[in-house]
Structure 1
Amino acid sequence: MSPVNQTSHNHQTFTLTGLPGMPERDFLMALPLFLLYGTTLLGNLIILVIIKIEESLHEPMYYFLAMLAATDLSLSLSSMPTMISVHWFNWRSITFDACITQMFFIHTFGGVESGVLVAMAFDRFVAIRFPLRYATILTHDVIGKIGAVVLLRSVSAVLPVPFLIKRLPFCHSNVLSHAYCLHQDAMRLACADTRINSIYGLLAVIFIIVLDALILLISYILILQAVLGIASREEKLKALNTCLSHICAVLLFYVPLIGMTLIHRFGKHLSPVVHSLMANVYLLLPPVLNPIVYSVRTKQIRKRIVRMFCRGKIGP
């Protein structure tokens, strides 16, 4: 047995893992990663710039969209350094402190994204149920407070995680399952009782993800009731059409998350490649597709993007 496995001290470093079975320098992953991260950064930055510059988009719906774009950008930047280092340069070692720092940001921005989706559902409910009072209910002050609550809730829920991980001794393998650090992945390597970590992780998931999913479900039940109360068929379709982009964003976030959870719980017999792919899809897919969905589905943003690239400026 190696000295690493005999010691009772914490590892100073963890070893990250790319896709199992792929070569050390995975050039086949280099191009897709470049395209994914490039599209994510460019798409979300364009959304933020357009909303900032175009005064006609200074409305609650677009402020929440800007929050979503900023969250997607932050989530991608949290995973990008280690994903690129593993798949492009085969640099697989990460220090313990760097690992728990990345872990904190990935889990925090994942929670923020869930909260922003709930805020966007509330925005759609107010717009459909109280159209005449929409601007007076969702003022700049209210929107700012919603954003602050979403951020503080996620930070407060995730903040204990690094301390819970840091107290554990790691005397077994130091090889993680992914090209980035997650709480549950690092926790399984500990050579001590991890029940506190498991219980707290479950409570945090219930407090953020499960609670948000329930609120989203209730929100859309209320939205559907409000839409059914509209007399005109054209107005009903128009109201539902304003929700389609948000529904797509919710599905992009929750479907990979549920899939990853089910595979982790019931798919232990599956190939490690399947686990890695599902984890990467959950982390990479929403940030790259959300700006595309909103650019295609939102006429005002689509027109400004066309003008940006065709005329080199944003404006009427």
Structure 2
Amino acid sequence: MAEELNVTYITLGGHIELQKYSYLYFVTFLLVYILILCSNCTVVYLIWKQPDLHEPMYVFIAALLLNSVLFSTNIYPKLLLDFLSDTQVISHQACLLQFLLFYSFGYSEFLLLAAMAYDRYVSICKPLHYQSIMRRTTVCVFLAAAWLLPLCQIVALIIMISNQNLCSFTLKQTFCNNTIYKLFCAASRTISVYGALILLDSVGFSVIFIVFTYTRILLICYRSSADVRRKAAHTCLPHLLVLSNYFCLFMYEVIAVRLNYEFPKITRLIMSLQLVLYNPLFNPFIYGLKMKEIHKHLKRLFC
């Protein structure tokens, strides 16, 4: 790979028949990106603007949707640029930055979902203590931890990755993810172990915590009135839908490289794009339709 002005470039080789369908790809993903921005920002704006939505549950939803916007903005502009370019390349430094933001915001989503699960647990299982537990300080601590903890962990991983020598300069993806490990001249056990620890810490802990809290909620609701069960269903079901979908897609993205199995090119493309498509696109609709108070304000806004 050519080096110009001491800049190393990496070829993004995950595109399929780009010369034939470049404009179709560009228009489709541009519309998707605009829809992601508009839908997520609309719900975030409503939560910020309406005083009755200034509760921890809605603040966490706004944070989750804002995280989706940042997550998408890390991927889509470069993707759109590549659709119209003759060559799909990215500098090594920019690739590391995209890798950093991709996993930082990706892991943040799990921690935000865990914070939302805890909020629902306190609201349903300890309603009399809700105000004293879920104070503004508590919410701010949860939000800061959800964004800063993954960022610090991935920064340390980036420092280790940046010191690795590259023997290949073609990435079998449309953006920089953990397939960058396959570019190394030699596999690093330290990087693999540390990456696995981050995965267990951010994703494993979050999923176990969410499953535990929702199990407790279900047990409480089973012994409670129909009104409590209905309230739990309206507030918990969207979180479970988002978690199950995101967990399956993210685990495929992480484990596929670890298995070192050569998936068909079309499979890699579809699965990688689903990860940056489904949750950012459907989260605002899931919460906007299933959360009664948000849905009420959306109807007022558009009707």
Residue 190 in 1 paired to residue 190 in 2? no
Q: Is the 8 A contact 2:14 2:265 kept in 1?
A: no
Query: Is the contact made by 1:48 and 1:66 (CA closer than 8 Å) also made in structure 2?
Result: yes
Show the counterpart of 1:178.
173
Q: Distance in 1 between matches of 2:56 and 2:248?
A: 26
Residues matched between the structures, number: 301
Measure how far apart 1:80 and its partner are.
Answer: 1.6
Q: Which structure 2 residues correspond to residues 272-287 of structure 1 after superposition, within 5 A?
A: 272-287=265-280
Compute the displacement of 1:154 (Å): 0.7
In the alignment, structure 1 segments of 5+ residues that lack a partner are 311-316
Find out whether 1:202 has 2:196 as its counterpart.
yes
Aligned residue type for 1:46: T
* Aligned: 1:257 with 2:250: yes
- Which of 223, 237, 240 is 1:244 aligned to? 237
Residue-by-residue CA offset, 1:28-67 (whole Å, 9 max, x unaligned): 3223212221111111111111011101101111011111
Using the TM superposition, give the Cα deviation of residue 268 of structure 1 relative to its aligned residue in structure 2, in angstroms.
2.6
Post-superposition Cα deviations, 1:241-298, rounded to whole Å, max 9, x if no partner, equal 2211111111231121234455555683531110121111112211111011011112
Deviation of the 1:21 alpha carbon: 4.0
Kindly tell me: are residues 309 and 234 of structure 1, through their superposed partners in 2, closer, same or farther at Cα, counting changes over 3 Å?
Answer: closer
Give the equivalent residue in structure 1 for 2:81.
85
Partner of 2:68: 72
Aligned AA (1:179): T
Pair 1:191–1:265, CA change in 2 (3 A): closer
1:44 to 40, 43, 46: 40
3-state secondary structure, aligned to 2:173: coil
Cα distance in 1 for residues equivalent to 2:132 and 2:86: 54
Gaps of 5+ in 2: none
Per the alignment, residue 289 of structure 1 pairs with 282
Match of 2:213 among 219, 224, 227: 219
Distance across 2 between alignment mates of 1:22 and 1:219:
46
What does 1:131-142 align with in structure 2 at a 5 Å threshold? 131-142=127-138
CA contact (8 A) 1:11 1:174 kept: no
* 8 Å contact kept, 2:14–2:171: no
Superposition CA RMSD, Å = 2.1
Give the 3-state SS of the residue equivalent to 1:13 in structure 2: strand
> Which secondary structure does the structure 2 equivalent of 1:94 belong to?
strand
Identity %: 26
Amino acid at match of 1:258: M
